[in-house]
Structures are given as C-alpha cells and as structure tokens.
Amino acid sequence: MTALTLKNVNKSFGKVQVLHDINLEVEDGEFVVFIGPSGCGKSTLLRVISGLEDATSGEITIGGDVVNSVPPAKRGIAMVFQSYALYPHLTVKANMALGLKQERRPKDEIEARVAEAARMLSLGDYLDRRPSELSGGQRQRVAIGRAVVRQPKLFLFDEPLSNLDAALRMNTRIEIARLHRTLDASMVYVTHDQTEAMTLADKIVVLRDGRVEQVGSPMELYNNPANQFVAGFLGAPSMNFLPAELVGGSPGTKIGIRPEHMRLGADGPIKAVVSHVENLGGDTNVLAELSDGTQVTVRLFGQHQIAPDQATTIVYDEADSFLFDRDGHRIRNDAPVVASV
C-alpha cells in the first residue's frame, strides 16, 4: 500500500494559484524530500497534505484513505516544524507524552512509547528537564520524539533543521536518517537545503512555481536532470552554463558542466581569468570569468596555489556535459557540441 497519493492537487489563495496539478506517490517506508527555491510551494504542499490547508481541488490519500475532508488530528500523521513548538512549562517527558494523553491512551502504553522514543533519540538523561535547559539540537530531537510516540502512518517534516547551526544540522540529519532506518517509516520532508535532500532522500521532488519539475532518486536527478533548472539547482557549487552551438547546427544552445568536471590546463579550449579563489582545505573552488563575461566555477580536489587575475584555460570532457536549448529543456543529441566562448 502506498503511504501517500496525490492526484491532480491544486491550491489557490483567492485568484493566485500556488500549486498546479501535483501528482505523486510515496511508498510505504519511503523517505521523500520536497525541495525548491523560496516560494516554490513546497511548504504549502506539506500543509495541504497535513490538512492545515485545504486543497482547492484534487485528491489526497493517506494509508489508502481519502482524507480531503478529514481534520489534521484524524489523518494519521505527525508533524515536525522548523520551530520546535514545545511547551516551556512542561518537561521533556510531558511534552513527548502530551499527544498520547490527549488521545486518552493507557498510562503504561504512554510510558512505554516515551521510553522507547527517548532511547532511539538519546534523550533518556533529559526527560525531567524543561526546554529552556536544552540545546537547540536537543529541543529538535524532543520535537521529533513527540512525533515518534504517535506511531503515525506518515511523518511530515517542515524544514526542521533550519534553526540549527552547521554542526548540529549535520548531527540531527544523521539522527533523522538513522530514525528512518529504525522505524522503516514513511516520511515527507521539506527543505531548501540540497545537502539534506541528497543525503536523506530515497526520492526527491523538485518544485518550481508550484509545479513538479522532476521526481527521482538523488543520483538520478544529479546524473540525469530533466532540464536546466533541475541541473542548476542540485549540486554545490552549482552547474556552470556556457553558450554553445551544435557543430553544423545553429547557436542558441547551452552546455552545462558541473564544477568538478572542469579542469584548469595550459592548452584548454576556453580562455578565462581567475576572479576569486576559495581555499577549503580538502577542495579548492576557482571562480573564473570567460571572455564573454560568463562566470564559472571550477572545483579542484586538494590544495592549489592559484591567484586572482591569473590567466588560465579550462578543459572539460564532452561526455560529462549536458546540453540545453534556449528555453532550458534538456537536449539529447549525439552531434558534437562546442562552447562558443
């Protein structure tokens, strides 16, 4: 059984349509990530799934049941928000148990579920503390624990790591991945952070302007993007795009080349001038300007002594490049392609 099915889901606020014919299936036990730029509709879509917003049209099925007219509390979901939404006057244990008490679960069942969630999330030593006595990462784990004890059909995460610093984001991301493996639960996760999407997802849904651009596994989307938007959105640093033309054909196409597939060489076909260098220790990002003013990034492994204003040339393998038309659609063509810079 699929955990979640969306059929032609639309959402409008007045005359403004923000979701356009969303069709999607989330399988049992699957971790699905919604990603896209700010304003693309990913959080709105999550709120429609949860019932916090009504779909203007279309059908939402959770665990085999159509839930369009079902209130959020009855949909068999549990949500984790960007804000921890913990009650400051309650202990960790009481915060995690509150939803079960409201459902009038037996006391021994509540105790057992809270204890198990605390064990999974390493919160056993903090059950008697209040949220003000916890770090940001610990508070988010409490919020996750509160969702876990509900044993929902579907977990919904709305940018849960956005308030954490880089180290805590990484640690909590690992906790969420481990939790998913342990519970084998169905999860839908909203983020603008492609690292979270690439490392957590079984399946990524890329959204733009309220429409689904592409759905697939992280590596499918990275290695085989459907269009220029997806190609440029996934990957850090993002893909470079150069004006190009098909040999024997007309100009107006673009070559997309990921920074890690470019190299600096003495006899490369593309002339450039180094504009900035980011020395990251394990990697070096070289930002360069081409003769037509196009800015590109070359990602080099290891440490390199490269100075700004240094003239250089860029080499790439055509097999590692992607071709797009002037509207950003992917072109699959066996004809030779050359950069026109």
For 327: left if phi > 0, alpha if psi spans -120 to 50, otherwise beta; the answer is alpha
Contact partners, residue 84, CB within 8 Å, separation at least 6? 131, 139, 140, 142, 143, 163
Question: Class of 2-229 per CATH?
Answer: alpha beta
Tokens linked to 259: 């920074």
Q: What are the domain boundaries of the chain?
A: 2-229, 238-324
pLDDT in tens, 289-316: 998 899 999 999 999 999 999 999 999 9
Sheet holding 262-265, edge to edge: 262-265, 311-316, 270-279, 283-290, 295-301
pLDDT in tens, 133-183: 998 888 888 999 999 999 999 999 999 888 888 888 888 888 899 999 999
CATH code assigned to 238-324: 2.40.50.140
pLDDT in tens, 240-268: 999 877 665 555 688 999 999 999 987 77
Taking each continuous run of H as one helix and of E as one strand, the counts in the chain are: 8, 20
- What span, in angstroms and rounded, lies between the C-alpha atoms of 75 and 284? 48
Please, what is the Cα angle at 250 between 248 and 253, to 5 degrees? 115
- What span, in angstroms and rounded, lies between the C-alpha atoms of 265 and 277? 16
Tokens linked to 146: 């509160």
pTM of the model as a whole: 0.89
Beta bridge partners of 2: 27
